[in-house]
Amino acid sequence: MRDDWNSWYPDPNQLRWHPFTIPDAAKGAVDFAEGLNTLCGAGDPKTRNGLSIHIYACNSSMLHKCMYSSDGDFLIVPQKGALRILTEFGKMTVKPNEICVIQQGMRFSVQVSEPSRGYILETYNKHFTLPDLGPIGANGLANPRDFLTPVAWFEDKEIQYTIINKFQGKMFQAQQGHSPFDVVGWHGNYTPYKYDLDKFMVINAVAFDHADPSIFTVLTCQSETAGVAIADFVIFPPRWSVQEHTFRPPYYHRNCMSEFMGLIKGKYEAKEEGFRPGGGTLHSMMTPHGPDSECFEKASNANLKAERIADGTMAFMFESSFSLALTEWGNKTCLRVDEEYYKCWQGLKSHFNPNDRLK
């Protein structure tokens, strides 16, 4: 893990990663803390301003070992394998299609029963909150009632325990002679929590036009500028698509945000081939992007009847107002960069005819 964003040369191109490799258990055990790698990020944890995106891939549980981040809050998105997470506040199981948030300074240990992989968004500034609902009103998107805190649990053991601290982008460790999970009681509301993405109440356009994906925001880490986030966690859940006179997939655009996308399961409607579960894409600010050529032709000629989209699929986006810098691991060492990603747009053709007139 690292936060030195000047250690690798900038790359403004559209980027896609094949599914990140899970360590082979036959070659040795790798636990959650050992299997963490930083993909990209921006800012500085020393000044409490910025974020990191990490990938975890592991094949064994953390044994007599826990970790915490002094730098920020972890939003963890499992993609393969359930995580049984022990914390000072109790324990919780987080399965694929669920997320959890473990805030700054909270000690936790991850146990797995199978090879596991997922994504982490770490924010250095504020805590994650629900987005302002504005004219939506009292209910919608992710409702507070659906967030769950850990089940009460503690262990009273005198045993050698390794404590790992992520501090200013580096990992440190110390030893202590008892379990860190010997907290018998606590009060307040500064706790870890989990959320089932199937509980999300989808809001969508029901007449015409493609709505901004901010309507799918689950959690946000707000900046001091209204409407501009340090980071948003956005999902693209199963839903109805009913717009008339509209190109329904995401339109081609470039904007002032950086967009990292991951896929938990299924096929993302704008790029059904190449973007696979456990992989990712990064479209940096002001870099143009949009649906691949196959999706464009299909959507441009579709019969615009009401239809279900994204059934069996869950894609998500970490969106940030920061310009994200790649690490060497993210652009080279991981060996998962799709060097032919750009080809998905090469088949796009111009259909413009200046002689055509609306009737």
Contacts of 266 (CB under 8 A, 6+ apart): 277, 310, 311, 312, 313, 314, 315
Spot the catalytic one: 64, 114, 178, 253: 253
Backbone angles phi, psi at 146, to 5 degrees: -95, 0
Contact of 55 with 18, CB cutoff 8 Å = no
- Determine which one of 210, 272, 294, 297 is catalytic: 210
| 259 part of the active site | yes
Question: Quick check: is 127 catalytic?
Answer: no
Given its phi and psi angles, is residue 189 left (phi above 0), alpha (psi -120 to 50 degrees) or beta?
Answer: alpha
- In DSSP terms, which residues pair with 74 in a beta bridge? 102, 122
Q: Which residue's entry shows tokens 């690292």? A: 2
Our answer to whether residue 283 is catalytic in this structure is: yes
Q: Is 54 an annotated catalytic residue?
A: no
Maximum CA extent, the chain: 82
List 88, 98, 122, 259, catalytic entry: 259
Residue 98 has φ and ψ, to the nearest 5°, of: -120, 160
* Backbone φ and ψ of 4, nearest 5°: -90, 95
Alpha-carbon distance of 32 to 67, in angstroms, equals: 10
User: Is 253 assigned a catalytic role?
Assistant: yes
278-301 residues labelled b (16+ CB within 10 A) or e (exposed): bbbbbbbbebebbbbeebbeebee
| Catalytic site positions | 210, 253, 259, 283, 289
